[in-house]
Amino acid sequence: MNKRIYFDVFDGRGWPKPEELKPYFLGSPERRSSFESENDCWGLSAEGVEGTDQLPEGNGRIDIHLTMVGHRAQGILLQYRRWGGGYRDTFYSKGDLTRLQEWVQTKDGDLMPVGLFISPSSAWKAVKEFMERDGRLPASIEWIADSDVPAEAFPG
């Protein structure tokens, strides 16, 4: 399995120790502001899980991506994707689903539903668990399957 990260000063192969990412979620407001810098979207990936690392992408290799979108007022939206080898799973962190018709804009101009954002402390639990369990879907938070999110939650 090949681990990769794109998160503030961490960019490339491998994952840092969870303690190195913790301040971005639970630290001082200045440290958490990394989600408010020129980028508000970060991620971790595990490519070639379940012994598929020798297979090519799109031809049996299973890849997992955990994307994090941060917003000062709303918290953090997590997207978990597991693709390849017969998997096509996408899940989102489950926040206040009554707010799926309210949106915040990312730095790239995309509209994200407020109802999928969770607190930084809850997001941290999931990110830490993701890292400790080598990319497995974290059980420490609630998730909603992409197929259960109404299409209008993500305006075109």
For 60-98, the pLDDT digits (tens) are 999 999 999 999 889 999 999 999 999 999 999 999 999
pLDDT score at 29: 63
At 131, phi and psi to the nearest 5? -70, -45
Whole-prediction pTM: 0.94
pLDDT score at 24: 87
Long-range pairs, 138-143, Cβ under 8 A, ≥24: 138/80, 141/78, 141/93, 141/94, 142/93, 142/94, 143/80, 143/91, 143/92, 143/93, 143/94
> How far is residue 4's CA from residue 53's CA, in Å, rounded to a whole number?
13
Number of domains in the chain: 1
pLDDT score at 37: 67
pLDDT score at 124: 96
pLDDT score at 132: 97
> Which residues of the chain register pLDDT less than 70?
29-37
* Domain interval for residue 131: 2-153
Residues 6 or more apart in contact with residue 35 via CB below 8 angstroms? 24, 42, 68, 70, 71, 72, 76
pLDDT score at 30: 58
pLDDT score at 3: 98
